[in-house]
Amino acid sequence: MTDDLSPPRRFRVGVRLPEWSTGFSFRIFAGLTDFQRQSAPFQLFFNQPSGGDLPATVIDESWDGDGLIVFRYTAEEGRAWKARGVAVVNLSAETPEGGPVFPRVTLDNGKVGAMAVEHLAALGLRDFCYIHESTRSYSESRWKGFESAVKTVGGRCHRIDIPVSSFPEDIRVRRIRETLRGPLSKLPRPCGIFTKDDIAAVWTITTLADLGIRCPEEMPVLGVDDDVVFCHTTQPPLSSISYPGRHIGFESAKLLHRLLASETRRGDGHLQIPPAGVVSRESTRHVILKDAVVTKALAVIRREVPRTNIQVAEVARLCGVSRELLRQRFQEQLGESPKDEIKRLRLRHLMEVLTTTDWTLEAIAENCGYSGAEEICRFIKRNTGKTTGEIRRGVE
């Protein structure tokens, strides 16, 4: 009797992502291939434009493969896939009315909203505005996280709801800007603006320019997805919360593999992946507050924290005031001390470096103004209750 040496069956898996997401969703493929290399016998199919050199891959209700990873689908498609026993993983927070609900792997949109407030509050702001589209589930979740976080920091919360999807495509650009202009012009200044996604951030920044409102000095703007095209071509370049595409791709492949390996295709679970962090660019770099001393001090702190262990006395010296006056001004303007601000920004920067680079602790210490790896470990443990290893592994 001989062993069966035939290769394992390769599942035919289609991947469908919307055209408007290509500036950030390409990261999903890195996660899919990570899992594929580990254990998944997948043969991937997707529609990548090739100028006609390759045959088009059509993924619709007639898809006859084994599984699908899709970003949204119609009710008709969902019913057809379910009837044929196709395993489906949905990467969107949206599900079609009247259609089946498939297991989902998505960004944790509540945490996105909270992260936005943390970033904008660190600029010294006390007024915060969310650019919303209330008919979208993901936008509603981001709004709830945003609103809750604003209350936590004691800020004032504003919201502008733009019903983008209800505008006809041929006049959508004009209607968006017409609807936005009035509410945007009435916001207090300075005010931190968080938009539902990077596309909304682009038309928000454009409208601010039309109104003669300076970004970021009067209204810093933060988007979501870290779309490489929108973020780098917008003026000023756009700060954005990074879409964890590689993590989402890996987990969606892992979930699909489990579905394909089982007899059942049922399940409507929802795995939410935390955002990867804020990628800071010019759109949130410099805000002019009412107190010129605090504005200058914050600029000094933000410049020095990533590279030195700056102390309050040095900040005061660079601003030309005493430590006590600086402390009083911070308390009046921000409700906290300069020391609190330095510690918060040091922690935020260190967390970002730990989660977005593969630098050793020694390299981080050398580049970021710590005495050594031991100081980093103590600082992280004292302020988060976790080890640096747990931070890097994403342990909750």
CATH number of the domain to which 235 belongs: 3.40.50.2300
Q: Kindly tell me if the per-residue pLDDT of 217 is higher than 70.
A: yes
Classify residue 4: in a domain, yes or no: no
Classify residue 5: in a domain, yes or no: no
Looking at the 3D structure of the chain, how many domains does it have? 3
DSSP calls for 35-72:
HHHHT--EEEEE----TTSSPPPP-STT--SSEEEES-
Mean pLDDT along residues 85-114 = 94
Classify residue 188: in a domain, yes or no: yes
Classify residue 3: in a domain, yes or no: no
Query: Token pair of 224, please?
Result: 């979501």
pLDDT tens-place string over residues 304-352:
998 899 999 999 999 999 999 999 999 888 888 999 989 988 998 898 8
Helices 312-319 and 338-356: crossing angle in degrees, nearest 10, is: 110
Q: Kindly tell me if the per-residue pLDDT of 213 is higher than 90.
A: yes
Classify residue 6: in a domain, yes or no: no
Q: Is the same domain home to 260 and 311? A: no
- The residue segments making up the domain with residue 357 are 292-393
Q: Kindly tell me if the per-residue pLDDT of 258 is higher than 60.
A: yes
Share of the chain above pLDDT 90, in %: 68
Q: Is the same domain home to 89 and 115? A: no
Q: Is the same domain home to 74 and 168? A: no
Q: Is the same domain home to 252 and 303? A: no
Mean pLDDT along residues 90-118 = 95
Indicate the pairing of strand 67-70 with strand 11-16.
parallel
Q: How far is CA 292 from CA 22, 174, 261, 310, in A?
A: 42, 38, 63, 20
Mean pLDDT along residues 246-270 = 84
Residue carrying the six token digits 């102390």? 311
pLDDT tens-place string over residues 21-75:
888 888 899 999 899 888 767 888 887 777 778 788 889 999 989 999 999 999 9
CB 192 within 8 A of CB 219: yes
44 beta partners: 13
Classify residue 263: in a domain, yes or no: yes
Distance CA 246, CA 16 (A): 16
Classify residue 237: in a domain, yes or no: yes
Q: Is the same domain home to 126 and 229? A: yes
* Contacts of residue 39, Cβ cutoff 8 Å, sequence gap at least 6: 257
Classify residue 28: in a domain, yes or no: yes
Q: Rounded to two decimals, what is the model's pTM?
A: 0.81
Q: Is the same domain home to 268 and 317? A: no
Helices 338-356 and 361-368: crossing angle in degrees, nearest 10, is: 140
pLDDT tens-place string over residues 181-209:
999 999 999 999 999 999 999 999 999 99
Q: Is the same domain home to 124 and 224? A: yes
Q: Is the same domain home to 238 and 113? A: yes
* Contacts of residue 361, Cβ cutoff 8 Å, sequence gap at least 6: 373, 376, 377, 388
Helix (H) or strand (E) holding 314, with range, is: helix 312-319
